[in-house]
Amino acid sequence: MSELDLNSLGLGPDERRLLGQHGFDAASFGMLQAELARGAFPVGRNVVKGTVAPPQPADLTPLPEPGTAPARRLEALGQAALDRGEVAAVVLNGGMATRFGGVVKGVVEVLPGLSFLALKLEDVARSHARAPVFLMNSFATDADTRGHLEKHRYHGLAPERVSCFTQHIGIRFTPTGEPFREQDGKVSLYAPGHGDILDCLAACDGFRRFAAGGGKYVLVSNVDNVGASLSPRVIGAHIAGGREVTVEVAARAAGDKGGAPARLEGRVEVLEGFRFPAGFDVESIPVFNTNTFVLSVAAVRADYNLTWFRADKSVDGRPAVQFERLMGEVTAFRDSTYLVVPREGPEGRFLPVKTPDDLVQLRPMLARRTGH
């Protein structure tokens, strides 16, 4: 595998610094560029090969209703793990800060005086006195996130309980394999997907201390999903499930996009929407992946051979190609529990805010859920 020749790109000192600081994988990107240039990486290569079928009812595990005996058992199990300091919250706070007008989403004001990050940290501070928080930022979100945390005194958490680390960095290409350049001539850089969480978290010093000190489980959620709280019942369900990975799935609704659990050659794993074969009825799968996971510490490791997927984008009105890896593919390597959680209502765990318009519509519900 030949490495991408950085010397040929005319990189400035700032670009070289960013690539060096954020783990640029010159070998992988050299391979990807070469395949793209010779036409060996069409979009269709993203599609899985093999027989795909919907999950069977037994593949899905309902989260027990609150107040029931099964729910109380799971809550006791999860709360005991929290009380022993065995659980951490991990927040996906990376990406390119583009959907909110170039503002880092985590620091956007959701409710008066409260950002997405504030609500995430408040959830932990309110009832989980020993749980640390790990924030996966990107080169585009790290500085603003750290400044926001310091300005707001970590929203009630002791600073030593919050660890920031960054995901990797990538170089965009043109559809013919040339480095894509911004209007100012600089090579276009981007954050290559939340699949980075597995090896970047494993390398985080704070996470290593957590694991060495008896940490066993992490709840991973998107910064914009306020519903994905650090729930003892969910942690208990993960422990009771006996598998290293638990995927929160919710009932499908019209317009949902993204991944879903499916049987690939008889084995259940999360497949992203663009990976399903043409003609497969994704609507036949009654649930979808909310991108909230519980991972046992043993599942957080750097040696998964995650797939690089091609994503065609429009950047400055021009076609660009970027390659991404996705967290859900961990289910191809680890048997997983698919936990069906409520989507809406007082117990709803899927309240994503992807655009400013979403925020306007969801703000009253978020206020009720968070008590603000």
Residue ranges, the chain, pLDDT below 70: 1, 97, 99
**Which pLDDT belongs to residue 150?**
96
**Which pLDDT belongs to residue 70?**
98
**Which pLDDT belongs to residue 290?**
96
**Which pLDDT belongs to residue 128?**
78
**Which pLDDT belongs to residue 78?**
97
**Tens of pLDDT, residues 59-113:** 999 999 999 999 999 999 999 999 999 999 999 999 886 767 778 999 999 999 9
Q: 260: closest CA among 271, 275, 248? A: 271
Q: pTM surpassing 0.85?
A: yes
Q: How would you class 184 by CB atoms within 10 Å of its CB: exposed for 0-12, middle for 13-18, buried for 19 or more?
A: exposed
Contact 245, 293 (CB under 8 A): yes
Domain assignments of the chain as residue spans, ordered by start: 16-370
**Which pLDDT belongs to residue 5?**
86
Cβ count near 51 (within 10 Å): 10
To the nearest whole number, what is the mean pLDDT of the chain? 94
The yes/no answer on whether domain 16-370 falls in CATH 3.30.360.10 is no
In what helix (H) or strand (E) does residue 200 lie, and over which residues does it extend? Answer: helix 197-203
Terminus-to-terminus CA distance in the chain, angstroms? 54
Q: 203: closest CA among 331, 324, 300? A: 300
| Residue 64, φ and ψ in degrees, nearest 5 | -60, 145
**Tens of pLDDT, residues 171-180:** 999 999 999 9
**Tens of pLDDT, residues 226-246:** 999 999 999 999 999 999 999
**Which pLDDT belongs to residue 90?**
98
Structure tokens at 352: 């994503």
**Which pLDDT belongs to residue 344?**
85
